[in-house]
Chains A and B, each alone.
Chain A
């Protein structure tokens, strides 16, 4: 698989960048030069490359590099954790729906459709209203909608797989359903959901950034890339670095993730292949 990833230069690039950024994020607490919340009002709005602050400082004199690293950490946390959770539940329900069909399917599909019908933004806004702004509301919102996406894909895959000889055979041999699903169906259905997952991670990251940007997401002093841009907005004419750095970071991370996604798709799902 890695060789095939490597085949396409862009995909390779995406993979490498993703890995690097993710690592930076994970290591943030240990590698960031400074406490992301530590202020030095008197040395605020320093430009990049100023002494002691590789990427300069923000309006409160906090070290931008440290905040970026922790911001990445948070983005990654939101992106991957939420996606993982919704993939798990969505996948499970999709699997059940696709495998058992009939009433089970009708019931689950109905639920899927209903959740699918809700605008993510609405769910997010309401949850933020109810739970107060913060990560929890945000992640709940994303999870509540995304699982349906995974469920749909998984269901489709399983419906198709179910008719394949090896499954029929297994059933004929009287192997119990759970075992068949686990051993024979799931492994073949996973790739498609993984592909979707890689895109959902990117989406979740953008979404978190967007909501933190308008102040409905992560609350200070915790750094979120989106929220950093939001705060930097007021200083765009005074110190445009402040909004440029986190912006570029998000863009690079998301683009890398998308490229990675394309790669995964080309490998697992040639049907969807762009070229």
Chain B
């Protein structure tokens, strides 16, 4: 286990390093620079040159990278070129919002998907099962952003129940979180169902029945717990996917989260912010997978030792 952790740690560091270089380079080879976001488009060249020099954008890229890394090791993580907010502050703000969104979405997804998956498996081929699977297919097929528009049309434009964009109180969270949850919900439900079916066929279930244990207990205490294991390993990937894919949903609802702000900062060429967010995103995905592996071991005693 310790060995595993160390290996993941090393792996994480390597990926992060590669990411940082790739990001740094990609951002700066991109045409356009922050000057256009900071100065008036009609501002004269002198002013532009002056600003570039001040931001050190006139140096060759590798040199800029070197400076960047040096600063980081000096504990200076830099600040937004546009707003002057420090990078940690920026990351905290947007990272948290994304976490809230992705977390809520995942919660909604699991709260619905797991019971339905169980139901579908237990009442296999029943109307429940077929309905559940139908919606699963639907959920995997409907593009989230389109669903988002439909919901905006219904709850925002027609019923005027919910705010259609922005963040703030809980009401702002409802639409984006629901939309974001749909795809996960569908996938999880399918997985839960097949996982349940697999477990229901296991010998230990027969033993339990032979012991005269109540059916409900067999399902909820034993089978479900076994069936959840693959779900947990999926969760890691899910979180990664949610935080990443959220950019689309975040953009539709203008939920200022990580993905949304990443796109924005890249468009504005706000290099420090874009770099910070990119690395945070990468780290988030990596650690999500890592945590999933850990959780795995917690649930499954077979993986605890060794």
CB within 8 Å of B: which residues of A? 10, 113-114, 117-122, 125-130, 132, 202, 206, 209-211, 213-214, 216, 226, 229, 233, 236-237, 240, 243, 247, 250-252, 254-255, 258-259, 272-275
- Do A122 and B190 have beta carbons less than 8 Å apart? no
- Any chain A CB within 8 A of the CB of B285? yes
Chain B residues lying within 8 Å of A274, measured Cβ to Cβ, are 190, 193-194, 197
Closest 5 CB pairs of A and B: A255-B141, A121-B244, A247-B146, A119-B244, A126-B26
CA distance A119 to B14 in the complex (A): 15
CA distance A233 to B145 in the complex (A): 10
- Do B14 and A250 have beta carbons less than 8 Å apart? no
- Rounded to whole Å, the gap between the CB of A136 and the closest CB of chain B is 14
Number of A-B contacts defined by CB within 8 Å: 135
Chain B residues lying within 8 Å of A240, measured Cβ to Cβ, are 153
Q: Which of B23, B149, B193, B244 contacts A120 (CB 8 A)?
A: B244
Contact flags B8-51 to A (C-beta < 8 A → 1, else 0) = 00011011001100110011011100000000000000000000
Contact flags B271-282 to A (C-beta < 8 A → 1, else 0) = 000100010011
CB within 8 Å of A: which residues of B? 11-12, 14-15, 18-19, 22-23, 26-27, 29-31, 124-125, 137-138, 140-146, 149-150, 152-153, 157, 190, 193-194, 197, 240, 243-245, 247-248, 251-252, 259, 262-263, 266-267, 274, 278, 281-282, 285-286, 289
- Do A126 and B22 have beta carbons less than 8 Å apart? yes
CA distance A254 to B51 in the complex (A): 48
Chain A residues lying within 8 Å of B27, measured Cβ to Cβ, are 126, 129-130
- Do B149 and A126 have beta carbons less than 8 Å apart? no
Chain A residues lying within 8 Å of B26, measured Cβ to Cβ, are 126-127, 129-130
- Please judge, given known A-B contacts A118-B282, A129-B30, A130-B26, whether A272 and B194 are in contact too, CB under 8 Å: yes
The closest CB in chain A to the CB of B14 belongs to: A114
CA distance A258 to B190 in the complex (A): 12
- Do B141 and A121 have beta carbons less than 8 Å apart? no
- Rounded to whole Å, the gap between the CB of B286 and the closest CB of chain A is 5
- Rounded to whole Å, the gap between the CB of B91 and the closest CB of chain A is 14
- Do B143 and A209 have beta carbons less than 8 Å apart? yes
CA distance A211 to B248 in the complex (A): 7
- Do A229 and B282 have beta carbons less than 8 Å apart? no
CA distance A275 to B195 in the complex (A): 10
- Do A122 and B141 have beta carbons less than 8 Å apart? no
- Do A125 and B143 have beta carbons less than 8 Å apart? no
Q: Which of B15, B248, B266 contacts A214 (CB 8 A)?
A: B248
The closest CB in chain B to the CB of A199 belongs to: B140
Q: Which of B144, B193, B267 contacts A210 (CB 8 A)?
A: B144
- Please judge, given known A-B contacts A236-B153, A274-B197, whether A122 and B18 are in contact too, CB under 8 Å: no
- Please judge, given known A-B contacts A119-B282, A210-B144, A254-B143, whether A125 and B266 are in contact too, CB under 8 Å: yes
The closest CB in chain B to the CB of A216 belongs to: B263
CA distance A15 to B303 in the complex (A): 41
